[in-house]
Amino acid sequence: MCELLGMSANVPTDIRFSFAGLARRGGETGPHADGWGISFYEGRTTRSFHEPEPSSRSQLARLLRDMPIKSCIVLGHVRRANRGRVSLENTHPFSRELWGRRWTFAHNGQLKGVKRLELGAFTPIGTTDSEHAFCWMLGRLHARFETLPRPATLDRIVADLCAELHALGVFNMLMSDSRTLYAHCGKRLCYLTRRSPFGKATLIDEDWTIDFARETTANDVVTVVATQALTRDESWTVVERGDMLTLREGEVRVLRGRNGCAHAT
């Protein structure tokens, strides 16, 4: 399967450290050699970069590792193709405009029968089950609301849509509307929150240690979400299957299963 990387922060933060670990898994320390992509939010829109080749051998990925693009919400993905050929149009994260905002979406897993779900106002460009699921979700939201709903309302609806897709197979997902980062666990997902007092961290996939105390202020809050832990010396929280996280300004809230019973973490 593919691997996901997401970040939510209360101040613009660069994700070079975590992205370096993910990029190595794209064909070097991992088998995810069929494309990669990353999207950085700036206000309501994004800067996005995609390639249908291994991130571990990509000059563009190396450039981004050295370029401190700062953002409060980031979505990243390395692909191991199972449905849909290796091509640019099948490379995550996918994006669409809804309610005057850029939505982005990345997924790993397989969804049996998802292409039988009727689409609304959004049409896939590629052939993956992932993009079909994304277009279906946005179509349902577009049909239900004329304008962007309050975050709490949207949280409940997105959780219900995720539960429907979760029933079709493995649905590990990241999605954002530029306000909130949504993360649903279908099989494997974990996260960690960094806040004061900050310490050091070392990547699992590369010999790189960083002292976050030198890179942050006392008020910074940064949460990183990943398919598998990226660092060897930090405590990652494993997300339960069927749960969805909502992340705003680095703070995490868990929606438990289909019932949507929420509690803050």
CA dihedral 142, 148, 150, 153 (to 10 degrees): 0
Q: Give pLDDT, residue 34.
A: 86
Q: Give pLDDT, residue 139.
A: 98
E strands of 35-99, at which residues? Answer: 36-42, 45-51, 70-78, 94-98
Catalytic residues: 2
Could you give the CA distance from residue 221 to residue 115 in angstroms, rounded to a whole number?
A: 39
Flag residues of the chain having pLDDT under 50. 259-265
Pick the closest to residue 117 from 141, 92, 98, 136 (CA basis).
Answer: 136
DSSP 111: B
Q: Give pLDDT, residue 261.
A: 42
Q: In terms of DSSP H, where are the helices of the chain?
A: 16-25, 59-66, 129-144, 151-166
Q: Give pLDDT, residue 257.
A: 78
What single-letter amino acid sits at 185?
C
E strands of the chain, at which residues? Answer: 3-14, 36-42, 45-51, 70-78, 94-98, 101-108, 172-176, 181-184, 190-195, 200-202, 209-211, 221-226, 237-238, 244-248, 251-256, 261-264
- Can you give the length of the chain in residues? 265
Retrieve residue 222's tokens. 């940064």
Is 176:182 a contact under the CB 8 Å cutoff?
A: yes
Q: Give pLDDT, residue 30.
A: 85
Three-class SS of residue 38? strand
